[in-house]
Structure 1
Amino acid sequence: MADVFSYESSEVDWCEDNYRHSQHVVEYFNTMSSFFFFVVSPIMLYLLHPYARERNLAVHLVWVMMIFVGVFSAYFHMTLSFMGQMLDELSILWVLAVGYAIWFPRRHFPSFIKERSTFAWLVLMITVVTTVSLFVKPVANAYALNCFGLHLLYSLGVEMKRCTDQKAVRLAKLSVALWVLAISCWISDRFACSFWQSLNFCYLHGIWHIVIVMAVAYGTTLIAYLDANYEIPYSLPGLQYWPCDKWALGLPHIVLKGTTKMNKRC
């Protein structure tokens, strides 16, 4: 049992040279870049709080779980242990599960499901089964998890056909661009390692960490905005960027311009 915690007990080894900067850290840059999760997640928790308070405080679980993704990612790349790999991948799986349970549009629910709570239980059961199945062939887990990205892109495309807000359209384009850049870094690090080693640049997986956090920030804000328009239209949701709405890039968040739930009851 102790072997699963041992250094380099995982079958996965990324392109970065092992122990290059520290005898205690297997992949130094991949480990350090994981701390970007700790920078963005608290900011997003703060920025999305007005929306979460109005919609459902469970929304915060997504970014709380993203902090755990950062913790387990750092642990995995520091040790390349089997347990680190599994914790890293399972935390990503559960972030996806929470997102699906909270935000998956009601109109796309299976016909036998009428309530979101029932859909959430279905997602929970599927996630538990998937959690167990991830232990069957761990080396394939990352590829399976990335396939969820394709479904999310498809779902986003379907939803954006109904959207005429140009700020949301721009956010969608940025979200897709960031995801494409992130997945390109991941694939290139995995399958073109010898090429990058010849250039002495083996840091694409670390860059993936940074870009994917930004892609999640953009993507979840867009999904939350579409959800707010459908679930709490009285709040008149809008999109802004932090720290300055006039900047070309920043962290997107939702502003509520209408009445709140409390005022609506009055």
Structure 2
Amino acid sequence: MGGMGGGGLLDIYSMAWEHLRPGSSPVDWCEGNYLISSNIAEFVNTFSNFLFILLPPVLIMLFKEYGRFVTPGIHVIWVLLIVVGLSSMYFHATLSLIGQLLDELAILWVFMAAFSLFYPKRYYPKFVKNDRKTFSWLMLLSAIAATGLSWWKPIVNAFVLMFMSVPTMLMLYTELQRRL
């Protein structure tokens, strides 16, 4: 087993578990660590995410008619926001790399779901032929690809989110200008 550092298969397992270890994330700038609790790294950030768990069920009820008459996909966004809340709680409680990835990937999936539901058809690529279902499949495949790449190389997710945010902001600005 050349190149494994002598431990072979055991080294692979220890490397896999290393990403679950508290403090394994390179990101740590939100608040002081373990100031309030010796078990929770970023106490305020951890518990501020309860809103992501409490509000989406209310939004599911409030948007029941919208889901019935416009698109049931709106409920996917609410469920994904719960996943964002749980993932973010885990990340801020542990500051583990796996928590960071779960947090960022959940945000990416909310972004892609919202994109597939609300992106104006006039901006669709030509090969989509103004078909929202085809565009939604394209967004799903993009989210799956970005997820796979992020597990392979975690830094990819940061670039995917940045890459998506710039055209989104430009599109939002353009749409707001159109409406004024």
Q: Indicate whether the TM-score tops 0.5.
A: yes
* Alignment counterpart, residue 120 of structure 1, candidates 136, 145, 154: 136
The 3-state SS of whatever aligns with 2:57 is: helix
Query: What are the ranges of 5 or more consecutive residues in structure 2 without an aligned counterpart?
Result: 1-15
- Structure 2 residue corresponding to 1:12, chosen from 27, 32, 35: 27
Match of 1:54 among 69, 74, 80: 69
Asked whether the 8 Å contact 1:12–1:139 carries over to 2, the reply is no
Counterpart of 2:121 in structure 1 is 106
Residue 153 in structure 1 maps to residue 179 in structure 2? no
Q: Is the contact between residue 121 and residue 132 of structure 2 (CA under 8 Å) also seen in structure 1?
A: yes
The structure with more strand, counted as a fraction of residues:
1
- Runs of 4 or more off by more than 4 Å in structure 1? none
The letter of the residue matching 1:13 is D
What CA distance in whole angstroms lies between the structure 2 residues aligned with 1:31 and 1:143? 24
- Identity between Structure 1 and Structure 2 (%): 38
Give distance in 1, aligned partners of 2:49 and 2:154.
Answer: 21
1:152 to 1:46, Cα distance in 2 relative to 1, 3 A: farther
Per the normalisation by structure 1, the TM-score is 0.57
Alignment partner, residue 65 of structure 1: 80
For residues 131 and 82 of structure 1, what CA distance do their matches in structure 2 show?
15
Task: Give ranges in structure 1 of 5+ residues lacking alignment.
Answer: 165-266
Describe how 1:117-266 pairs up with structure 2 within 5 A: 117-139=133-155, 141-142=157-158, 144-163=160-179
TM-score by length of 2: 0.81
Deviation at 1:162, TM superposition (A): 3.5
Report the alpha carbon displacement of residue 142 of structure 1 after superposing the two structures with TM: 3.9
Q: Equivalent residue for 1:24?
A: 39
Higher relative contact order (CA 8 A, sep 6+): 1
Partner SS for 1:5: coil
Aligned equivalent of 1:35, options 40, 47, 50? 50
Cα-Cα RMSD: 2.0
After TM superposition, give the deviation of residue 84 of structure 1 in Å. Answer: 0.8
